[in-house]
A and B are shown apart, each in its own frame.
Chain A
Amino acid sequence: MSGQSFRLVSGGLVDRDRALNFSFDGKPYRGFAGDTLASALLANGVRLVGRSFKYHRPRGVLSAGPEEPNALVELRSGARREPNTRATVTELFDGLDAASQNRWPSLVFDLLSLNGLVSPALVAGFYYKTFMWPAAFWEKLYEPLIRRAAGLGRAAGLEDPDHYEKAFAFCDLLVIGGGPAGLAAALAAGRSGARVILCDEDFCLGGRLLAEKREIDGKPAAEWLAATLAELENLPEVRIMSRTTVFGLYDHGIYGAVERVGDHLPEPAPHQPRQRGWRIHARRAILAAGALERPIVFPGNDVPGVMLAGAARTYVNRYGVLPGRETVLFTAGDDGWATARDIAAAGGKVAAIVDARGEADPARKALADKLGARLFAGGVIEGTRGGRQLDGVTIRDASGATMALACDLLAVSNGWNPTLHLTSHQNGKAVWDEALQCFVPGTLPAGLAVAGSAAGHFTLGQALEDGARLGGEAAAEAGLKPAAAGPVPMTDPEATALQPIWRVKGAKGKAFVDYQNDVTDKDVELAAREGFRPVEHLKRYTTLGMATDQGKTSNLSGLAIMAEQTGKTIPQTGTTTFRPPYTPVAIGALAGHHRGKEFRPVRLAPTHDWSKEQGAVFVEAGQWLRAQYYPKPGENDWLTTVNREVQAVRAGVGLCDVSTLGKIDIQGADAAEFLERVYINGWKALPVGKARYGLMLREDGFVMDDGTTSRLGDSHFLMTTTTANAGKVMQHLEFCHQVLWPELDIRMVSVSEQWAQVAVAGPRARETLRAVVDPAHDISNEAFPYLAARAVTVGGGIPARLFRISFSGELAYELAVAADHGDAMMRALMRAGQPFGITPYGTEALGVMRIEKGHVAGNELNGQTTPRDLGLGKMMSAKKDYLGRLMAGRQALIEKDRPSFVGFRPVDPTQRLRAGAHFIGIGKADIMENDEGYMTSVAYSPHLNHWMGLGLIKGGAARIGERVRAYDPVRNGDIVVEICSPVFVDPEGARLHG
């Protein structure tokens, strides 16, 4: 194992007593606690960390933060493998395992780098131009080829083994960014008692203070930082969240954040999530996210060893790593000089300082001399040497003369862009500041203020001043008395003069604007020539600003070059509208707990455990799990089971849970009037103690739901709805009451959860119930006729409700008890029905029997059918107004040949019917014009011993006896069926009344 040959002997914030082992592309290395993967790789002299997206060019670490476009790796392995992880923000842990991506067969020897040789074919827009023809080749040939050659990392392809969470927080002030401005803001607000949340994406708070050698109040900034953090931690209403990125700003003071709870560990700690997605509600927020440094576009600016000057400083000062032994600085302003100074102070050699500005002032000359660096005032870098690692640069001095200079680090300084992304998440447009030569926040979203560098206030003194002032204002906004504000701390002087250069012209070689997408200055020129000049077109044509970094280091250069091409200014050319998320967010953090079987809540009936005990197979019905069928040992085919269940009901008795039906208690003086208005049929005449089938429409005339409603008292009804529509119907009824007819006295509440309800069906149903219902209640046919609905007691005084209603066409009842007694009710009925062979049946058998009886259900109540379509037109009252009345009577809905409801049977009884098959006249072509309707429901009838179907066909009942094709091309079905009555079993209804 090679040592950390680029690690300084002392200095930095890493813990040299805690060495951590890690591997990159299978090779073992060692770093320290407090390192990022990038700093640890640099400490070990690893410069080449990845290959570029399109040309497979060698790439190294460009930055030291979230903007990194190059150093993307696959982190971890197996199911936890995560592609496109930025090495610059990946906290090192013991056992970390990372691999480079987008190379084949290896990072050092990448065959696909040949893409660079054919690069003229790969310029902007090449996908659109090259792979146009033939169209069929795109899916089969071009796309797979391109996907192999161009791309980023590989997804794990396995289920994520970790747990994720969502969480909600509320505060007076959210501070985004824990640098000097954010800390000062949190302190000012926190001291006055405000509820403050301070988020920072880093694992250490301090922001640039961690990376700079600065003084506050005459002492090293680290002392101020430590004291500030200590005070904040002691304020009870201040919550500090490190490793937490605020990624989005939403309406009404809502912020999205992701907390990386376990990303810095090999695996999350026991009982801990990997990440937690936060939704933070903030009365006020201060964006103190700092700034991102800008590269310069010049040929060869992507060789590993070209690095942002501020990042180089971070590696020296924070991580104790010298990013190169021999440095050349290429700067457009004063800030870059700090890098030269800090590198020299750390013992590194500064070979040259290339300051693109004209004649240097004496102070700069003196500093260059002191650092032992050659100074090229007014010079530029016009090329680099080196393949996998920088060997040297070509300098063009102010006179135009060029010279080569050996170096292994080129630090580039071109000023900073405020990290204003969140200010534009609600369409806020950034504005160009000519003096600062950068975009600064424009109109701000309500409740948001910006402090420090994020506002373009680049000095430390301004950051501290902004933070203290805005933090105090936020506290006052929350109605708190501001704490006595001490003087803003004094800072050492700093120079910020800048004359940015957007690119070095007149030299050969690829000059990259967008590293991550391999977009060069020539691509931007091409886009300009071909007319893709608006920024949105530029982005889509060249891919500039796309992918995981969203152009954090490239957007402005791209705009500047387009401005130059079109002879406009930068603000005339456009701005970037940033959208959430600020940095990539794992889907898991957004889903939280809700994945797999916890995707949404599952509802279980009070009889669920009993059904499970009976061996039920369950099916999802709305949110519910319902017993679908109850296979017995030896039954290997669901149809066998279902046939047995159906036959048992028709021959003896069966029971089926119906607790899942929606149940709405409707009371009030106007309850009957209300039902008149929401149902198509009449309700005022329904006697107490009786149930009636009801059908309700949407206002547009189509059927919404059906069910039985029972009158429990003069002004008291119990409505049932279908399982799937229960919530929707409740919402609809609330609408009718509160919005349409608030003057009615209606009081409604869902009682679906209160009752366990079971259908007891079959010729022996009454005998079975007789043994369960207390003897005081007469349930004889005379005393308890069809559609009776009354309170009874069971099990010696337990309140229950009994309804004589039937979906199966058999003598049938529904018995309801309070849910706590549901389990016992099932056991009591099973015992009572034992002599009659009582059989539990599920939704499948229920479906078979309702099709045998021609009852409509969800397949027919599909939102496209009117009562007339379903043969229920006679139910529509002509004497009263009700919802949907007028619209259901529209001409097109009452046309004679509108498809309406009938039954179908196969002419050859051995043939199987298929739901979804379309009807076509015999001898007619299978084209849309000949479509006459479709099959809605099918089942095998063990009673008839053949398949039967329900469906909608033009002309409907008038065509009974006619034959048509049931055409089902998807499943190669094309059979002849006969149109028949939808009632297949017991058309006289004798069984029902038995």
Chain B
Amino acid sequence: MRITCPHCGARDAQEFTYLGAADLKRPDGMAATEAAMTDYVYQRENPAGTHRELWYHGAGCHAWLVVTRDTRNHAIAAVEAAKSRKTGAAA
């Protein structure tokens, strides 16, 4: 696989580490409930199709990236830096 890092350009997947779903919002703060945190830590969709997911460019610029990938064929539709993402749910 090749992932086009928005900072570094197209790189082999082995430069990256996979984490998982990108659009989870951490229930921050003292008011957060255990139930909400349990969902955040453990509940995941497992779609056959488009998946927005986090990859870490550890062998490159150290950026966390949001990769939009089709899980059926690895086709990548978009890559953006998590820190400056325009879409998605994280704080």
In-complex A–B contact (CB below 8 Å): yes
Question: B-contacting residues of A (Cβ < 8 Å)?
Answer: 250-254, 279, 281, 426, 446, 699-700, 727, 730-731, 734-735, 737-743, 880-881, 886-887, 889-890
Point out the residues of chain A lying under 8 angstroms from B41, CB to CB: 699-700, 887
The answer to whether A738 touches B28, judged by C-beta atoms less than 8 angstroms apart, is no
Q: A699-B41, A740-B90 are in contact. Are A890 and B2 (CB under 8 A)?
A: no
The answer to whether B34 touches A739, judged by C-beta atoms less than 8 angstroms apart, is no
Subset of 17 A-B contacts with CB under 8 Å: A250-B1, A251-B1, A254-B1, A254-B2, A426-B73, A731-B17, A731-B58, A737-B83, A738-B82, A739-B54, A740-B28, A880-B30, A886-B27, A887-B37, A887-B38, A887-B41, A890-B34
A738 to B88, CA, bound (A): 14
Q: Which 10 pairs between the two chains have the least Cβ-Cβ distance?
A: A252-B2, A886-B37, A738-B83, A738-B64, A251-B1, A742-B83, A251-B74, A739-B82, A738-B82, A739-B64
Q: A734-B56, A738-B64, A739-B90 are in contact. Are A253 and B82 (CB under 8 A)?
A: no
Point out the residues of chain B lying under 8 angstroms from A731, CB to CB: 17, 56, 58
Q: Which of B1-46 contact A (CB under 8 A)?
A: 1-2, 12, 17, 19, 26-30, 32-34, 37-38, 40-41
Is the C-beta of B84 less than 8 angstroms from some C-beta in chain A?
yes
Is the C-beta of B79 less than 8 angstroms from some C-beta in chain A?
no
Q: A251-B2, A254-B2, A740-B90 are in contact. Are A881 and B32 (CB under 8 A)?
A: yes
Question: A-contacting residues of B (Cβ < 8 Å)?
Answer: 1-2, 12, 17, 19, 26-30, 32-34, 37-38, 40-41, 54, 56, 58, 62-64, 73-76, 81-84, 90-91
Point out the residues of chain A lying under 8 angstroms from B12, CB to CB: 254, 279
Q: A426-B73, A731-B58, A890-B34 are in contact. Are A742 and B84 (CB under 8 A)?
A: yes
The answer to whether B2 touches A889, judged by C-beta atoms less than 8 angstroms apart, is no
Contact of A881 among B28, B38, B75 (CB under 8 A): B28
A737 to B41, CA, bound (A): 18
Contact of A734 among B62, B73, B76, B90 (CB under 8 A): B62
Q: A700-B41, A740-B26, A881-B32 are in contact. Are A253 and B2 (CB under 8 A)?
A: yes
Q: Which residue of A lies closest to B76 (CB)?
A: A252
- A509 smallest CB distance to B (angstroms): 47
A880 to B32, CA, bound (A): 12
Point out the residues of chain B lying under 8 angstroms from A880, CB to CB: 30
Point out the residues of chain A lying under 8 angstroms from B33, CB to CB: 886
A984 to B1, CA, bound (A): 54
- B73 smallest CB distance to A (angstroms): 7
Point out the residues of chain A lying under 8 angstroms from B26, CB to CB: 699, 740
The answer to whether A252 touches B1, judged by C-beta atoms less than 8 angstroms apart, is yes
Q: Which residue of B lies closest to A279 (CB)?
A: B12
The answer to whether B2 touches A738, judged by C-beta atoms less than 8 angstroms apart, is no
- A228 smallest CB distance to B (angstroms): 32
A251 to B33, CA, bound (A): 42
The answer to whether A886 touches B32, judged by C-beta atoms less than 8 angstroms apart, is yes
- A680 smallest CB distance to B (angstroms): 14
- A863 smallest CB distance to B (angstroms): 15
Point out the residues of chain B lying under 8 angstroms from A253, CB to CB: 2
The answer to whether B34 touches A889, judged by C-beta atoms less than 8 angstroms apart, is yes
- A414 smallest CB distance to B (angstroms): 36
Point out the residues of chain A lying under 8 angstroms from B63, CB to CB: 738
- A698 smallest CB distance to B (angstroms): 9
Point out the residues of chain B lying under 8 angstroms from A699, CB to CB: 26, 37, 40-41
A735 to B73, CA, bound (A): 27
Point out the residues of chain A lying under 8 angstroms from B81, CB to CB: 738
A734 to B73, CA, bound (A): 29
